[in-house]
Amino acid sequence: MNKLVKTAYAIAGGMMLSTLVVAPAQATTAHGCGWPRVCFYQTAARYNASNPNAAYQDMGYQTLTTAAKGADKIYNSRNDDGALLYTRWDDGSSRTFCVFPNETVTLLSDETVYAINIKDSEICAG
C-alpha cells in the first residue's frame, strides 16, 4: 500500500473516532433501591427480593413513615452522601450512626430506626 493511501486511511479512521459519542454513565440500582435513595426493608426477605418498603432522597432530617420505622435493613444507594440514622432500643437507650454511600446495614432485633438525616458528606459530617 502506498504512503498516500495509508495516510487517507489514518485520517478517515481518526475522523470516525472523533465522531463517537459516549453516553454518560447511568446510576445503578441495587437491592431495588433506585439512585439517589436510602431504602428501608422491613425484613431480610424483602431486601433479598429487592423490594423496599420505603425510600428517602431529600437532604436533611426527616421523621420516618410507618412503612420505614422498624426496618430490618437499610441500604444507601447514594454515591457521595451519608445517611445519619437515629435509632432507639427497647430499653429506651438510643444511638445515632452513619450509613455510608452504597452500604447496607442490618439493625439489631430490639432496635428501631425512627428518623434519618441525609447529609452532603460521605461520613455524615456537618
Degrees to nearest 5, angle at CA 37 with 64 and 75: 80
Res 28: pLDDT: 55
Res 2: pLDDT: 54
| pLDDT (tens place) for every residue of the chain, 126 residues total | 555 444 444 444 444 434 434 444 445 579 999 999 999 999 999 999 999 999 999 999 999 999 999 899 999 999 999 999 999 999 999 999 999 999 999 999 899 999 999 999 999 998
Cell output for 12:
478517515
pTM of the entire structure? 0.77
Q: Give me the residue spans of the domains in the chain.
A: 27-118
Res 17: pLDDT: 38
Res 20: pLDDT: 37
Cell output for 11:
485520517
HEC string for the chain = CCHHHHHHHHHHHHHHHHCCCCCCCCCCCECCECCCCEEEECCHHHHHCCCCCEEECCCEEEECCCCCCCCCEEEECCCCCCEEEEEEECCCCEEEEEECCCCEEECCCCEEEEEEEECCCCCCCC
